[in-house]
Amino acid sequence: MMKSAFIFLIFLCNCQVSWYHTRIIPNQTSERQISEHQPILEETGTACFISKYKFEESDPSYEYDETNQHQIDSQFIENIRTNLKLKNRNTKHIKQIYGIPNSWPYLKELESFRTNKTFERFKQIGNANLNPNDKNKLFKYAEIIDADTLLYTKEQTNLNHEIENCDTYYQLSYIKKERDDYNSLLFLITLGVIPTIHYENHYFIISKRKSLESVSQSIKYKFGFRKVISWLLLPTFNVFDEVESYNKDYRFLDHSKDQFLNSLENKYSQPLPIKRLNPVYGDVIGETYLSDSFLFTTLIPVDKRFAIIRDGKRNVSFFDPIHGLFKIQAINVNYKVNSDFNSDGIEKTLKTYITTNLIDKIKKNYPKSGIVYELYSPEYRDGTYTFVLEIVKPDKNNELFQKEYYVFSCFKSQSQIFILTRSLPNNSNPEDLPKLAETKIIDFYSKVNFQSRYIEPKAPEVDLTINDGTPKPKNKDDIDGDEEDDDDNEDEEEELAGGGGGGASTEIDLSGLFSALKERTYIPRGKMDIKPGRFKFNNARFNAPKVTRSKFHFKPGRSKNFSRPAKWRR
């Protein structure tokens, strides 16, 4: 009797009834379902998405009317544009930089950046006789400005003018967040007799204006959830519990952004299943990836809904079937490489390092591969080596060879060599590869913030021997250290074979690149043809194993590496 009463009390305790809702607000007074409203992105012609950026040196008193709204990040817009291109729609991303002082002497230099997005612009800045502050500012905008960037001085306050070859204008903004709870105090005082209600709402707005029209249409989107908690309601057995707790790695704001994007693409879209990002090394917060080593942070350059993210302590790879492969590596230089930089210079050392640690390794698997274009820019980041690698691999269906192109760019900063990698379209014209590669990699540079630091290079090891030629025995601490190194080497071999992708600290990690090459990249025709997890680089990234007594077993000496996925597979 006591046991049954105890079980009954458990059923009655901590009951949660949760639900998720989406709304659209075409005016300020009413709300209705998103499916009841007409499609937003179904207009014919060229769709232009507008992003507004305030110039860094603007007077703080100069404010544009919409600067109080949080602008949607550029990658969000790129994801929309990609899906529209799959539907044969023409799109543009117009970036408007406003508030430039009329007296700033380098307006012509900013304007010249619009014509050609290559490393030549950095060479022009490096050769110019400028003060350091202005030079750094020009370097910054040289990464951002492209052919679709418009520049406005303080006198030009009208940013809603007509733009050439634009039929419909869209501007997306994140407005505000509402989060509160009711009856929390009464809930505690009454021991759950009076329920408590938690809610969270996020509001987005999209402004739409057709060409030659002066009035824009603004539509507000609302995404939120409600949760009722009581200790004395009838149990629901989680039937209505559709809203889960969100950790810092995947907050409800991220889910609402995904829903906003889906609603723009398809007004009948249903709430996506909640993805729990369990980072192996770095952190995914919002649309930003933070490296575990704190050496770099980057805006995630792919569509996170369909992406595979695999990382190590100093590297990360992003891949989705539409945008392709993006990779960042930070490699600590050893004593030899550091001395080569001092004796042979940056250019020669970088080329030698890349040839030895990257090109030669790839040629072992794909002998016909090689560099088809290379460029060294001494002005950009104190010396940047950029090259296009053509990888020639056999076709499974016939005796011909397939060619795939990747652009690499590397530079040295303090004690690290940073390497950025980006895949190029396989159908690229070889004559257009130089300009295409420079444009693509500079765009990637603009998404990444590097935070290098100085690390004392390790001196080369000296083999100490006794007079009879036998090696000098090590003490107990050294022996224990060697055992730990053996464990780390095993981890590296396992990771390079397709695990976490940790890689050695002084060698280039090629696991992400080889994984992309082994998979036959398939470009889907529509959004519904994209399936998360189609390209499975590392499932542990999204599906970390659950700790249960029946399925999870600890092994001696392994608990210290609990967070590493390489240990999960042993």
Q: What does the CA dihedral 349, 352, 358, 364 come to, rounded to 10 degrees? A: -170
What pLDDT is recorded for position 164?
Answer: 92
The stretches in the chain having pLDDT less than 50 are 2, 11, 58-68, 464-504, 520-570
Joined tokens for residue 195: 């329920």
Q: What is the pLDDT of residue 508?
A: 81
pLDDT of residue 440: 95
Domain spans, the chain: 17-24+184-278, 44-166, 299-466+492-543
CA 250/CA 258 separation, integer angstroms: 11
- In angstroms, the CA 352 to CA 329 distance is 17
Give the length of the chain: 570
Q: How many CB atoms lie within 10 A of CB 431?
A: 8
User: Could you tell me the two tokens for 349?
Assistant: 């050392």
Predicted pLDDT of residue 395: 65
Q: Which residues are CB-neighbours of 419 under 8 A, at least 6 positions away?
A: 327, 328, 329, 331, 408, 409, 410, 508
The CB density around residue 561, as the number of other CB atoms within 10 Å, is 15
- The answer to pTM > 0.85 is no
Torsion-angle region of 345 (φ positive above 0: left; ψ -120 to 50: alpha; else: beta): left
Residue 442: which of 195, 120, 182, 189 has the closest Cα? Answer: 120
The angle subtended at Cα 241 by Cα 240 and Cα 243, nearest 5°, is 130
User: What is the strand order of the sheet 283-285 is part of?
Assistant: 283-285, 288-290, 296-299, 448-450
Provide the greatest CA pair distance for the chain: 93
pLDDT on residue 265 = 83
What one-character-per-residue DSSP string does 313-352 give?
SSEEEEEETTTEEEEEEEEE--HHHHHHHHHH-HHHHHHH
Using CA atoms, how far apart are residues 25 and 32, in angstroms rounded to an integer?
A: 7
Give the model confidence (pLDDT) of 402-449 as tens digits.
889 999 999 999 999 999 999 998 888 888 999 999 999 999 999 999
Total Cβ atoms within 10 A of residue 374: 15
First to last CA, the chain: 46
Query: 397 in the Ramachandran plot: left (φ > 0), alpha (ψ -120 to 50) or beta?
Result: alpha
HEC readout, 11-59:
HHCCEEEEEEEEEEECCCCCCECHHHCCCCCCCCCCEEEEEEEECCCCC
The whole-number pLDDT of residue 183 equals 87
Number of Cβ within 10 Å of residue 272's Cβ equals 13
